[in-house]
């Protein structure tokens, strides 16, 4: 089965919102489709993120969301791969790998010097996927400081 990856536009929000809502539920958030839709709309409208959408036979099966960042030391653009989600029925079929490869290709074409992501040390399946796709674990440690209590379990990781 062939997977097509394309950059999503604001007109794709109604297709993306259920996937994004499922992604948030995977991480323990309450279902909230209007919130998911509003978040995606705002990020895309403000050009604050890039979403790549995976489709099979015209059906959305996954997405990756990238956020821009910059390195002062390298005086260059970086991209953070913040969200990666594949519907359960399409897992272990190459969709996640295709999304990772498309994200790297997008970042390269954009002139970025690095694309980065963070995942939990206990997420063995994701870590194996990233290594197989050529990503390297480094020894640096990201730290987070929660600036607000979102009240719904939403916290900086």
The DSSP symbol for 52 reads E
What pLDDT does residue 47 have? 95
Q: For residue range 59-86, what is the model confidence (pLDDT) as tens digits?
A: 999 999 999 999 999 999 999 999 999 9
Q: Binning pLDDT at 50, 70 and 90, where does residue 156 land?
A: very low
Convert the pLDDT of each residue in 91-144 to its tens digit.
999 999 999 999 999 999 999 999 998 887 888 888 888 888 888 887 666 666
For residue 51, what are the contacts with CB-CB under 8 A and spacing of at least 6?
A: 7, 8, 12, 16, 40, 43, 44, 63, 64, 65, 66
Residue 73: partners with Cβ closer than 8 Å, 6 or more residues away: none
- What's the pTM value of the predicted model, to 2 decimals? 0.87
pLDDT tens profile 47-62: 999 999 999 999 999 9
Please report the domains of the chain, with CATH numbers, ordered by start residue.
4-132 (3.40.630.30)
Closest CA to 43 of 87, 82, 75: 82
Helix (H) or strand (E) holding 103: helix 95-109
């Amino acid at each position: 089965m062939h997977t097509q990856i394309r950059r999503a536009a604001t007109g794709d929000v109604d297709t993306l919102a259920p996937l994004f809502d499922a992604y948030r539920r995977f991480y323990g958030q309450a279902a909230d489709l209007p919130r998911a839709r509003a978040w995606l709309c705002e990020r895309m409208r403000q050009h604050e993120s890039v979403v790549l959408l995976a489709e099979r036979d015209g059906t959305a099966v996954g997405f990756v969301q990238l956020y821009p960042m910059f390195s002062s030391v390298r005086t260059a653009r970086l991209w953070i791969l913040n969200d990666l989600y594949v519907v359960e029925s399409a897992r272990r079929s190459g969709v996640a790998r295709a999304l990772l490869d498309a994200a790297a290709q997008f970042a390269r074409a954009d002139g970025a010097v690095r694309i980065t992501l963070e995942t939990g040390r206990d997420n063995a399946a994701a870590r194996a996927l990233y290594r197989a796709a050529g990503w390297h674990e480094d020894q640096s440690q990201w730290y987070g400081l929660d600036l607000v209590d979102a009240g719904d379990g939403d916290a900086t990781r």
